[in-house]
Structure 1
Amino acid sequence: MSADPANVQLDGHGALRLTPLRAADGTWTSGRVETRRSDFAAPPGGELRISARLTLPDVIASDGAGYWPAFWALGSGVRGGGAPWPSGGEIDVLEGLDGHPSTWSTLHCGAACLEPAGLTSGEHPCPACLSGEHEYIVDIDRSRSPEQIRWSVDGTEVFHLDATAVDPATWDAAVHHGFFVIFDLALGGTFPGSVGGPSAARPGSATVAGRPMTVVSVQISIREQISARDQISTREG
């Protein structure tokens, strides 16, 4: 990952581009950004929504081996060192791999989440995601019982996990705290290799450079707890 404007830049129209580049010697560079704040949290009885409108890299399986665009959130303790990964919580709002017409949504939380894979949607077909701008959303909902994490694309739910998927202590450690948000575009790694085979674990000569992930907007919203009285008044109104 690089701080070079060639890898991380605004496009002149308000959007952020993370662009992977290959040097003459075959070395790859790319970009990663994250929020300075790490206190984005779902309050007890409320809800946290993290969403972004973005365009995935314009690659397909034949020229996208190793491409790994991602939009995710890490627990504040992972950054501070007080709650190391994975028990400190990682929520992958979106991962794309190897130019496949698919997305992945995942919670990482330690042994109970079947690491290193995590509790995941698996490969979710999304042919439309390869072209144009789409909105990717995760909701941490503590207003219901059991609590729930929901993933959506363009307003349509693609995956959810109830708190009962793991033991209460694991859920608490992974979810009940602040998060910081990350966008990055990696090249190669164990995850691309697990889907695209050995050639995707390290991008090769057929992997095209210069195809950015473009982040058009990001929004983080918090809904506080609504009392039963307020709910009744709202319905009556």
Structure 2
Amino acid sequence: MVNSDSCGSVLNLFIKSKHGFPTIESQTLSLKVGHGIAGDINANAISPRQILLVRNEDLLELSIPPGELKENVVIGGLDASLLSPGALIESNKGAAIRLTFYCEPCKRIAPLVDRLKTIERKRGILGVILTDSTLSIGDRLTVKPHTFPALSEIPYERFLNFIAKVPNGKVVTYKQVIAAIGVSDGYFRALPNYLIKAAGAGYPAHRVVDSQGNLTPHLSQQKEKLEAEKIELIRGIPSVGSKTQYSVSLPDYNWEDSTLYL
């Protein structure tokens, strides 16, 4: 017998077509594995935040109308304790979503609450799409906690988890790192410190290059380590008084894995 606390339903659906614009209410969402929600700005094969789900009970408690938290799905009837990172949500129509981590409160929603702290763990939970399917208003949902490993709430720990997966002889870009750890573009500023700290801890930080394929100035021995992995580097023409810049051919050496969180 299924516990009633683990059963709920879809009450509202929304698509985010552009950053900074209101969400668009919809009767259905087209879910694509290895992509996200069709037509949604957050669709990305390697992102752990392809979909955002919010409990209707939390919206009512906070007096926030559906859609204002930029969520994709408003669900009703599911116990909050079951909606945790690592849980699996399935619909009666075949949709399957892996919950990854709680959506962090941010300044964009500050006007909706007295204090951002009041919305912690009620801002919604993020997830990735596991099946090609359609989610519709009225669909029934069940949740199975602890089905997958929970992703860390700490971005740096997600960063370590990601770069540890990059194979020998391949590289990833800053842009891929930002997408894969599920953070905003503001975290580009944090990457130099992340790289230095990770390299010191023995992680393969040398396999991270900038978004054009250039080696980063923040790591020593990056050139030598990449060459030791049989990666052919492109030598740039230095300007007067500057160091020689090396880069990697991304078409040849870039690593992409659309099954990262599947």
Rg larger in 1 or in 2?
2
Higher relative contact order (CA 8 A, sep 6+): 1
Q: Name the one with the larger strand percent.
A: 1
TM-score by length of 2: 0.24
Q: Name the one with the larger helix percent.
A: 2
